[in-house]
Structure 1
Amino acid sequence: MITPQEIKAFLDTDKSSKTKQFARTGQRYYDGEHDIKKYRIFYYDADGNLQEDYTRSNIKIPHCFFTELADQTVQYLLSGKEKFVFSQIPALQAELDSYFNKNEDFISELNDVLTDAVVKGFGYLYAYKNAEGKLAFQCADSLDVVEVEGRFTSDGRDYYIYRYVQRKNLQGDVVARIEVFDDTQVTYYTQIADGLPQLDETAKPNPRPHVLYKKDNDDSTYWEGLGFIPFFRLDNNRKRISGLKPVKELIDDYDIMACGLSNNLQDLTEGIYVIKGYEGENLDELQLNIKTKKMVGVDSEGDVEIRTIEIPTEARKAKLELDEKSIYKFGMGFNSSQVGDGNITNIVIKSRYALLDMKCNKLEIRLKQFLRKILKVVLDEINQEQGTAYQQSDVCFRFTREILTNATDNAQMDLTKAQTKQTEVNTLLNLMSQAPTEQLRKDLCTLMDWDYDELKDKFPDNPEEALQTAQRALDEVQPSE
Structure 2
Amino acid sequence: MLVEDLYKRPYYEYLNDIIRRMVGEGLTINEVLVQELKDWKNSENYKSMLTGEKYYLEKMDIRENKRQEIEWKSNIKLEHGFAKKLVNQKVGYLLSKDPTIATEDKTYAEHLKQVFNRKFLKTLKNIGKEAINKGKAYLYVYFDEEGNIAFKKLRSQQVIPFWKDSEHTAIQSFIYFYSETIYENKIKKVIEKVEYHHEKGIDYYIFDGAKLVPDDVAGLSVGHNFMINGEPFLWERIPLIPFKYNEEEQPLIESIKSLIDNYNMQASTNADILADIAQVIWKLKNYGGEDLGEFLGDLNRYRAINLDENGDVDTIQSKPETDANEKELERGRKTIYEFGRGVDTTDSNLGNASGVALRYRYSDLDMDCNILETEFQASLEQVIWFVNRYLQVKKLGDFSNEKVDFIFNRDIIISESEVITDCANSVGILDDKTIRENHPWYTDDVEKRLEVQRKKEMDIHDNYDTTFQKKQGDVNGKDA
Q: State whether TM-score is above 0.5.
A: yes
1:298 aligned partner:
none
2:136–2:156 Cα contact (<8 Å) kept: yes
1:166 aligned partner:
180
2:105 aligned partner:
89
2:207–2:213 Cα contact (<8 Å) kept: yes
* Cα distance, 1:353 vs structure 2: 1.5
Q: 1:99 to 1:305 in 2, by over 3 A?
A: same
2:423 aligned partner:
414
* Cα distance, 1:348 vs structure 2: 2.4
1:55 aligned partner:
72
2:161 aligned partner:
147
Structure 1, residues 158-186: CA drift from partner, whole Å, max 9, x if none? 43111111127677764111111112321
Other structure's SS at 2:58 match: coil
How does 1:117-156 map onto structure 2 within 5 Å? 117-148=131-162
Q: 1:391 to 1:149 in 2, by over 3 A?
A: closer
CA distance in 1, matches of 2:296, 2:402: 75
- Quick check: 1:198 aligned with 2:224? no
Other structure's SS at 1:124 match: strand
Amino acid paired to 1:267? D
CA distance in 1, matches of 2:293, 2:214: 60
* Cα distance, 1:114 vs structure 2: 1.1
2:102–2:405 Cα contact (<8 Å) kept: yes
CA distance in 2, matches of 1:287, 1:184: 81
Amino acid paired to 1:324? R
2:10 aligned partner:
none
2:149–2:387 Cα contact (<8 Å) kept: yes
Equivalent in 303, 310, 323 of residue 319 of structure 2: 310
1:184–1:228 Cα contact (<8 Å) kept: no
Q: 1:120 to 1:54 in 2, by over 3 A?
A: farther
* Cα distance, 1:305 vs structure 2: 9.4
* Cα distance, 1:309 vs structure 2: 4.0
1:176 aligned partner:
192
1:370 aligned partner:
379
CA distance in 2, matches of 1:122, 1:421: 43
1:169–1:175 Cα contact (<8 Å) kept: no
Q: 1:359 to 1:258 in 2, by over 3 A?
A: same
Among all aligned residue pairs of Structure 1 and Structure 2, give the percentage whose two residues are the same amino acid. 24
- Quick check: 1:106 aligned with 2:120? yes
In structure 1, stretches of 5+ residues that fail to align are 43-51, 152-156, 215-220, 277-285, 295-302, 423-481
2:92 aligned partner:
75
Structure 1, residues 59-94: CA drift from partner, whole Å, max 9, x if none? 11210001000111111111334x432111111111
Other structure's SS at 2:426 match: helix
CA distance in 1, matches of 2:38, 2:292: 50
CA distance in 1, matches of 2:277, 2:373: 51
- Quick check: 1:13 aligned with 2:22? no
1:23–1:241 Cα contact (<8 Å) kept: no
CA distance in 1, matches of 2:334, 2:224: 53
Other structure's SS at 1:32 match: coil
2:269 aligned partner:
260
How does 1:348-387 map onto structure 2 within 5 Å? 348-386=357-395
2:60–2:79 Cα contact (<8 Å) kept: yes
* Superposition TM-score, scaled by structure 2 size: 0.72
1:212 aligned partner:
227
- Quick check: 1:244 aligned with 2:253? yes
Structure 1, residues 280-305: CA drift from partner, whole Å, max 9, x if none? xxxxxx9999999x9xxxxxxxx999
Structure 1, residues 421-473: CA drift from partner, whole Å, max 9, x if none? 69xxxxxxxxxxxxxxxxxxxxxxxxxxxxxxxxxxxxxxxxxxxxxxxxxxx
* Cα distance, 1:357 vs structure 2: 0.6
Other structure's SS at 2:271 match: helix
Amino acid paired to 1:117? A
* Cα distance, 1:150 vs structure 2: 8.2
* Cα distance, 1:4 vs structure 2: 2.5
* Cα distance, 1:336 vs structure 2: 1.1
2:76–2:272 Cα contact (<8 Å) kept: yes
Equivalent in 192, 202, 207 of residue 186 of structure 1: 202
CA distance in 1, matches of 2:295, 2:330: 36
1:65–1:251 Cα contact (<8 Å) kept: yes
CA distance in 2, matches of 1:173, 1:290: 58
CA distance in 1, matches of 2:71, 2:294: 14
Other structure's SS at 1:265 match: helix
* Cα distance, 1:345 vs structure 2: 2.3
2:204–2:220 Cα contact (<8 Å) kept: no
How does 1:271-350 map onto structure 2 within 5 Å? 309-340=318-349, 343-350=352-359
Which of these two proteins has the greater Rg computed from alpha carbons?
Answer: 1
* Cα distance, 1:331 vs structure 2: 0.7
Other structure's SS at 2:274 match: helix
CA distance in 1, matches of 2:73, 2:403: 67
2:407 aligned partner:
398
2:201–2:221 Cα contact (<8 Å) kept: no
Structure 1, residues 259-288: CA drift from partner, whole Å, max 9, x if none? 111111110125679999xxxxxxxxx999
Amino acid paired to 2:41? K
1:183–1:230 Cα contact (<8 Å) kept: no
Q: 1:145 to 1:381 in 2, by over 3 A?
A: same
2:223–2:234 Cα contact (<8 Å) kept: no
* Superposition TM-score, scaled by structure 1 size: 0.72
1:375–1:392 Cα contact (<8 Å) kept: no
